[in-house]
Structure formats: structure tokens, C-alpha cells
Structure 1
């Protein structure tokens, strides 16, 4: 039933209302035509929808046919008002009253079930209603905004994500091919399990994008306000963003797997060279241990009363691991070879260091003897400089020390004491000419001032003569080069020279 008439409009007010309503009618028609051609609408109409999208579209999909029905009612009412206005150039009172009722009153009959806005979608309604043209325009705007929101959101998801999924899946296929070439497969390696899980996730995401795009849409926090249809039929921008978090997470996971596989690929290219390097280190360690065993026999033959440490045997466990590494390389099991090869390189380097330490410890007695020989030669040169080389005491002590140092086996403790007594014989007695600082002290003769350390052996271990004599003489190991005779048994570059 029509509502009671309001104030009667003047002729000028009628003309202005007709112009405004006509412009609004044209804008609605343009917007509806654009919405009907919207790609998102065509996809929604043809897709097999599921989930949230199916739920919403089952209600919102009724909007476009209803919009055209409401638009027809609006156009018919506006046409009726224009026909009344066209009867007379200057309408009288009855015509103005009729026009006022048509333009401002509840003069338009529309189907029921047309709720006022998206908040009442699916709510029960009357079979028919009578509304004014302005109310009908508001209802059309509300329906238009609701339909456009769903259509634009679905179109935004379908525009942004399918190409991205295709790129991710193409990259996944490339990584899977690389993994297969490296022997990485599901069930045998964690990376293979990760790739299989990524494959399942991306396929599920692709299905979800195709059938339930609204599940990947995050609306803006503030809902779009109902308003006039956009000017010129513009589609408007969706109020929200596409949710790409799961795609980003899958992309990061795929990058991580790819980097680990590329590390295995570099291992495959470098494995032969690295295994050869491990073998070279072990060969050098074996050669050093063999030299240490030979030197130990020489020390036991040439040095008396000396405890020489035993030389360890080769690391057989490392060779077994090298055989395993070669087998893994032959079978292409690079993911198992990677940690094993790292451990082998570290163990081979430690084995070489252990062999060198053993050689150093074994040859220390020979180094001590060589140093004592050098000191004896230095003291002999000092005796000649002091013109006491022919002194019977000096000569006797020199010969005694020399005999001890060049005899085999050599008693290092006795030899050290003899060298100390020879050095003491070079000191003039107090009050004699030449006595004083530097006269017979090695420090004044230009020899090095470093204290005697016995090449790592304790000086006290060779008796009090060493403590009282050699440690105080101030001659360093450089004295070994002062004599004119070769330093038999001196360690040079890790090898024992002489007899």
C-alpha cells in the first residue's frame, strides 16, 4: 500500500529530481553492464566451487539477476514520471501532485526477498514491497557492493596466485630432478621427504585456489561502506589483500632444499679431489711415522740410558672409512658421503700432526747430543781465542767431552757434565791476567745469551754438572754451528742426519 503523499514539489524541483534520477539510472546501467562482463563473475559462474567460496556465492550469486530486476522497476517508474511531466509544458496542481508521489513516495512495487544490505543476506522478506525511488537506489547500491566485493576478491586471488603456483611447481620439478640425480629420494633421505611434502602442499594449494579462492582472501578490517555505484561503471578495487603466507613459506622451504642439494652437487664435483687430499695426508703421516720408527732405532743405538717413547702405528680405522667413502662415491650416495668426508679430512689432518709430534719426541735425544756437540766446538774456539787450547787440563777435559759425545752409545748425562767441566776450565783463576767480565764467559764472546733447554729434556735429568755448568754459560743452540766439525745426529727439517 502506498504511503501518504508528502509535500508537493514545484515544477523546478520536479525537473531537478528527474535530471538527478536519470543520471543515477544511467550510472547504474553502466555499472551493471561492466559487472556482467567482469572476468571474476564468469569464473565464479563456471567453477566447481567448494568451502567458503561456495557458501558465499550460493547467496551472493542471486544478486546480479535481482539487480537487473530492480533496475527494470526503477527504469519503469522513472519512465512513468517522465511521461506525466511531458503532458504539459507547465504542469498544474494535479500533475505536480502526481509527480511528487511518483518521485518521492512509495510508488515502486518490487519483489520481496530483497534485503537492504549484505548484513541481511538470506534473511526472510515479504513477497512484494512498495518503496520510493531513492530507497530502491539504496537497495541496488547495497546489492551491487556485495556482489562486486565477492567477484573482485575471487578475481584478485585468481589473478595473483595461479601463475605463482605454476612457477613454484616448475621449480619443484627441477629440484626433484636434481635430487634424483644425487640419489636423494623419499624414504631414504630427509630432503626427499621434504620434497614429497612440498609437492603435496602445492597441489593442495592449487586446488584450493581454483575451487575456493575466498579462503585465500583477507578482507580489510573496516568493511567497505555502502554508497553510490562507482561513476562511469568502474569496477572498483577489492577491499582486502590476497593471503600469500602459505606460498611464501613453501617457497622458502623449497629454496632451503635446493641450497642443500646444490651443496651435495658441489660435493659430487669435488669428492674425488677431496678424497685424494685425505689419502695424501695419510701417506705423509705414514712416511713420518716410518721416519720416527727409524729414528727411534737410531736413538736406541746411539744414546744410552734414555727412555725413548714408542712410535704409534698407522690409523687403520681411517683407511676403513676411506674405503667406505669410496664405496659411497661409487654408488652416488652423496648425502651420506658429505658428513663422512668432512670427518675424514679432520681426522687425516690430526693424524699427520700426531705423526710429526711423535717424530719430534723420538729425535729429541739426538737433538740434545747435537746441541752439546755444538757447545763443545764453541768452547774449543773460545779456548783458542784465549790461547789456552794447549793447556793440559783444558786439553784433557776437551778430549774427555769429545770422546763421550762421539762414542756410541752416547751417555748424555756424562757428556753434559764433561762439557760443563771443559767450559769451567776456560775461566781464568781470580787475580790472573784476563780475569773479569767477558774474559772467559761465553756472554762476552759474542755467543747467544739464550739459556740451555735441552731440546725439551729437563736439564736436571742429566746431573748436577749440567745444572752448574751449561745452564749458566749462556750459550744458545746456535753454538752448534761454531765448530769446524759436522754435528752428527742433528735433526734437520724433521730428519736425523749423520751417525
Structure 2
């Protein structure tokens, strides 16, 4: 190696040394690394981190030996006087030869031998490659552990916040929700001590849903207790709306049944009395507010649905009369078509027309048969003798 090449190599190695030192300092300041150094690990994580620590010990030993070689190279380069062949050869040996000595590791007594253990000699390049492999093993373990903690611990924090809120709401209501407060702590211990081996995903999903649902129910119970008088007053008014809508449906049935043939099940059935009885039961209930809140919300939905169904029934009943009138109009239009086509006196057309007209002007009208009769008349006028599908 020439003097210029040796000096260039030494400068490059100095930059490399600084970069490696910075990376190792970043590693030691990494939050997860610092947590793991003093953590009581177990299971798969304990085994993985033990292997990473062995690699880390090798890395530091290599790093110390590597830096020692560079210090010696800098000392040789910095000696006074002209760099002769002997100094250049020494510098070349340090920078490109197997100058890094990795001392044989002390083995546990059960794995020792009475024969001397040979040290390993590496070039600077080989030492850097070995250090990089060890560094990658350590950072890989850190990344895997960190990924689990980053995914699970915030969810556990949220679950514990829900649990604290549940305890506050229980105190406010004077009722117990029956949630086991030990479960979040158990899951936290498992994931902190063995993030790589703790299968907590399903348990955490179940716990998070349980706590979120319980919190929502308790918050609803608190709200319902505070708003019960107002909401009960609204329900009373809503029941009056149901009675009015059901009365309209009965009136519609009475008006329509004389005009349109209706099946027995078409008679509107009132729900207002049963819903009012449900409200009275709720008034005197001694159930916890969580259950009363559920029942109140369900009763509000039922009352709203009953009013909507009654209005829909009335509209549908009146719609049957409109359907009959529509069929009458279509029949009249088809009769004019028959006249234009010269079929007004055709016996078959006349018979079909009279049949449809009789059905449509008979009270109560059988809409199904009348609609089929009008369609038969239309097909006859257009020469279509096929029956529909």
C-alpha cells in the first residue's frame, strides 16, 4: 500500500469509526432498548433478547478491538520523521491485514475445554461486517418487540381509560357493572414481559369491546336517569300520536273495506295500549338504570315504529282505492282503443270488457281478479292470446 493510499484508507476508516460510534450511541438511547435492559422478560421474548444480547456483547468486543487498531494506526501515522518502508508496512498491516483480535469468549464451565481457546483475527472489513450482522440482529429484535408494544400498549391504555371511566360512572349511579378490573392488568403484564409470545389479540379485542359497550351503557344510563322525566313526557305525547295514527288506519279500513275486498289480516291491530302498559311498568321498575335505559330506548323505538306502521297502513289502504280507480281508467282507455280498431262490437272483446267492468264496479271490488280481467282485455285487443308467465 502506498503512503497516499494508506493515508486515504486511514481517513476513510476514521469516518467509518465515527459513524459506527454514532449508531451504537443511538442504539443505547433507543427507548425500547433501555426498557429491555432492565425488564423481567420471559418466554419467546426472553430467548430472543438473550440471543440479541450475546450478539451485542460480540459487537462491543469487536468495536473495542476495531477502535484499538485504528488508534494504533493513527499513532504509527503520527510518529515524527519521514514514513519509511517499515512504518508503511506496519500501517498497511494494520489497515488491510488481520489486525483485529477477537478474544475467545469465556464459556460456561460445562462447555469449557482444558485446551487453550484460540482468539480470532479479522481484517477491519471483516470486523465491520461482523459488527453489522450483530447490530442487525439486535435491531431486528428491537423492531419486532417495538411493533407489538406500539400496536398493543396504546389499546391497553385506552381499555384502562375505559375502565376508569366505568368506575366513575358506577359511583355516580350507585350500581355495579360487574367488569373484572384484573383483566387489563393481566394482559399488560403478559405483553410487557413477553410481547413476542403473548397471544393477547383475541383477548384484547374481547376486552376492548366489553369495556366500550359497558361504558356506553353506563353513560346512557346516566343520561336516561337525568332525562327520564322529559323523555317520559315525550313518550306520552308520542303515544297520543300512535293512537291518532292507529285511529286513522281503522277509519281507512272502514272506508276501504266497503269498496275493496280485503283479507281478515288487513284489519289494523292497535299497539298503543300495550306500549302504554310497557311505559307504566318502566315507571315503577326497580331494575338498575342500565337495564331501564335499554328498555326506555327500545320503547321509544317501538312507539316510533308503531306510529310509522299505522300511517303506512292507512296510506296503503287508501292506495287500494286509487288502484281500483286506475284500473277503471285503463279499462276506459282500452275501450276507446277497441273502437279505433273496429273491435267495439267483437263478441270476445265485449265479453272481456263486461267481465272487467263488472269486477271493477262491484263493491267490494276484488282487485286481483279485476286487474287480471283488464289485462285479458288488453291482450285481446292487441291479438296477444298468451297468458302471462
Is 1:326 equivalent to 2:249 in the alignment? Answer: no
| 1:337 alignment partner, one of 295, 314, 319 | 295
TM-score (norm 2): 0.53
Is 1:268 equivalent to 2:232 in the alignment? Answer: no
| 1:26 alignment partner, one of 6, 13, 18 | 18
DSSP 3-state at the match of 1:27: helix
Is 1:184–1:335's contact at 8 Å kept on the other side of the alignment? Answer: no
Q: Deviation string for 1:441-467 (max 9, x for gaps)?
A: xxxxxxxxxxxxxxxx99xxxxxxxxx
Q: Deviation string for 1:372-412 (max 9, x for gaps)?
A: xxxxxxxxxxxxxxxxxxxxxxxxxxxxxxxxxxxxxxxxx
Structure-2 change in CA distance of 1:148 and 1:278 (3 Å): closer
Q: Can you give the 5+ residue segments of structure 2 that lack an aligned partner in the other structure? A: 107-116, 248-271, 312-362, 365-389
Structure-2 change in CA distance of 1:343 and 1:64 (3 Å): closer
Tell me which moved more, 129-138 or 203-212. 203-212
Is 1:67 equivalent to 2:59 in the alignment? Answer: yes
Two-structure CA RMSD over aligned residues (Å): 5.0
Structure-2 change in CA distance of 1:334 and 1:99 (3 Å): same
Q: Deviation string for 1:244-264 (max 9, x for gaps)?
A: 998788656644444444444
Partner of 1:206: 188
Partner of 1:100: 92
Q: Can you give the 5+ residue segments of structure 1 that lack an aligned partner in the other structure? A: 1-8, 115-125, 187-191, 218-242, 290-314, 354-456, 459-499
| 1:13 alignment partner, one of 5, 26, 47 | 5
Is 1:132 equivalent to 2:89 in the alignment? Answer: no
Partner of 1:46: 38
Q: Deviation string for 1:169-193 (max 9, x for gaps)?
A: 123321344356568755xxxxx5x
Structure-2 change in CA distance of 1:13 and 1:245 (3 Å): farther
The within-5 A match list for 1:289-368 is 321-328=278-285, 332=289, 333-335=291-293, 337-338=295-296, 341-342=299-300, 345=303
| Cα displacement (A) at 1:11 | 1.8
Is 1:81 equivalent to 2:38 in the alignment? Answer: no
Structure-2 change in CA distance of 1:99 and 1:342 (3 Å): closer
Is 1:328–1:336's contact at 8 Å kept on the other side of the alignment? Answer: no
Structure-2 change in CA distance of 1:323 and 1:59 (3 Å): same
Structure-2 change in CA distance of 1:268 and 1:12 (3 Å): same
Greater helix fraction, Structure 1 or Structure 2: 2
Is 1:110–1:128's contact at 8 Å kept on the other side of the alignment? Answer: yes
Q: Deviation string for 1:253-304 (max 9, x for gaps)?
A: 644444444444444344445555666858x98xxx9xxxxxxxxxxxxxxx
Is 1:322–1:344's contact at 8 Å kept on the other side of the alignment? Answer: no
Partner of 2:373: none
| Cα displacement (A) at 1:147 | 2.3
Q: Which has the larger radius of gyration?
A: 1
The separation in 2 between residues aligned to 1:76 and 1:346, in whole angstroms, is: 84
Q: Deviation string for 1:224-252 (max 9, x for gaps)?
A: xxxxxxxxxxxxxxxxxxx9998788656
DSSP 3-state at the match of 1:109: strand
Structure-2 change in CA distance of 1:326 and 1:30 (3 Å): closer
The separation in 2 between residues aligned to 1:57 and 1:175, in whole angstroms, is: 37
The separation in 2 between residues aligned to 1:348 and 1:152, in whole angstroms, is: 58
Aligned residues between the structures: 278
| Cα displacement (A) at 1:57 | 1.0
TM-score (norm 1): 0.43
Is 1:74–1:136's contact at 8 Å kept on the other side of the alignment? Answer: yes
Is 1:109 equivalent to 2:101 in the alignment? Answer: yes
Is 1:264–1:338's contact at 8 Å kept on the other side of the alignment? Answer: no
